[in-house]
Amino acid sequence: MTNLDFLVNYVDSDVDYETTAADYISMDLTNDYLIWTAGSATVTDLMASEPSSSDLNEAATQIDPDVATTVAYCYLMDYSHDVGGAYYTHLVKGMGLNKRYVFCCSFDGATASEPQLEAWDDSSHSTTDNEVLGAGTPTNSMVKAVCTTSGLPGSSWTGTAIAGNGAGRYIELNNGNGALAALASGETSQELYFNAKIVIPAAHATPASETFVFTVRYTWS
Amino acid sequence: MSDKLELQNHALFSAHFEDGSIFVSGNSYDDTKWLQLPHKQIKKIYYALPNGDHLCLEGYEKYFHMLEATKDLNGPRAGMRRIEYAYIMGKRGNIVVSYRITLFHKKNDKYKVGDIVKREFHIHDKFVKGLNPSNWR
């Protein structure tokens, strides 16, 4: 069996995990979570307490009537605040930018096929009806993702609108190169990377406060 | 449904070789021992289904097995691995026959635990080409 660990880069999104593991926080997936926000004086990097729902509402992204809006920040809510002092939030560095090492999936062995990233309404993985996922039209998903395992995403990257696991609505995390091979001698893990952003269309008619679920699908023999 | 319950503490599969020897798998999806199968011609494989029955594949040149899981990065099931499908496949000539066994019933999904979907792929199909070449036996 192969295990998956999920990490985010909170220092320098130009360096990979293998080279500089200290730049990454391994998410405690039971307690930690990602906050997608416009930010505010309260909801910011290095918060000394967990933001409240009211804090998050006040820092919500505003829909622009004329141009599409990219959600400005993604913070890791680090419940155990175990890096950098007693801080609960850490800015995910490079989110949405032309950066390669932002979100990281670390595998401790080989896979039987290529891992892929999906987005769903909830943990049942049965629907993509949230506004943020296109309200039932996956091609309209506001969640854009791009595999950066093999290189930079490029300036002004558009990515793939991900929602569900229908054809073309997820991303392959090994850049289409198939399964992960066995670990090289002396290695304990191998990493795949992606970047992601949320782009709200201009004048989107249905404001919403929603959660959606990022899911990694992977295999072993 | 837990992994162990699905397997009912029995071996996941047994591989019967042309030379008469038999390889018995582990009894956990976490430790199938598939990659410990020796590289010699398999005559047939009996693969355990969630209801205790077995699926038999026989007469293929090569065989492939994998388990497919998801792990949510956020939400109420974040961090919990969920094994959704098992695949047992056989390759003959340019065709790979795949049997996908459902191990988790998703809401609104027509496939229930134990349902089997048989599909055939050309060896140059993206699905087949994406499989780990080291895992064929």
ipTM: 0.91
CB A218 to CB B130 under 8 A? no
Percent of chain B with pLDDT over 70: 93
Mean pLDDT of chain B: 91
Model confidence at B75, pLDDT cuts 50, 70, 90, reads confident
How far is the alpha carbon of A30 from chain B, nearest alpha carbon, in Å? 6
The predicted pLDDT at position A135 comes to 95
How far is the alpha carbon of B71 from chain A, nearest alpha carbon, in Å? 5
Q: How far apart are CA A34 and CA A91, in angstroms?
A: 10
- B-facing residues of A in 83-122 (CB < 8 A) are 110-114, 118, 122
Q: Is A4 on the interface with B (CB under 8 A)?
A: yes
CB A178 to CB B64 under 8 A? no
The predicted pLDDT at position B9 comes to 55
Nearest-5° angle of CA A173, CA A179, CA A185?
Answer: 105
CB B71 to CB A4 under 8 A? yes
Contacts of B134 in chain A (CB under 8 A): 110, 181-182
Instruction: Give the amino acid at A171.
Output: I
Q: What is the mean pLDDT of residues B55-81?
A: 94
CB A118 to CB B70 under 8 A? yes
CB B130 to CB A28 under 8 A? no
Contacts of A124 in chain B (CB under 8 A): 106-107
Cβ A219 vs Cβ B88: under 8 Å = no
Top residue of B30, B74, B81, B111 to mutate, by most chain A CBs within 10 Å, is B74
Cα dihedral B114→B14→B39→B117 (10° resolution): -20
Cβ B69 vs Cβ A107: under 8 Å = no
Closest CA to B105 of B28, B5, B1, B9: B1
Cβ A20 vs Cβ A60: under 8 Å = no
In which element (H, E) is residue B69 found?
A: strand B62-72
How far is the alpha carbon of A133 from chain B, nearest alpha carbon, in Å? 15
E-strand stretches of chain A = 4-9, 24-26, 33-37, 69-70, 73-77, 89-91, 103-107, 116-120, 143-147, 160-161, 171-172, 190-200, 213-220
The rounded average pLDDT for each run of 10 residues, N- to C-terminus, in chain A (221 residues) is 94 97 92 94 95 95 96 94 85 98 97 98 94 96 98 96 96 97 94 98 90 95 96
* CA distances in angstroms from B9 to A20, B2, B25, listed in the order given: 42, 11, 12
Q: Is A219 on the interface with B (CB under 8 A)?
A: yes
CB B132 to CB A178 under 8 A? yes
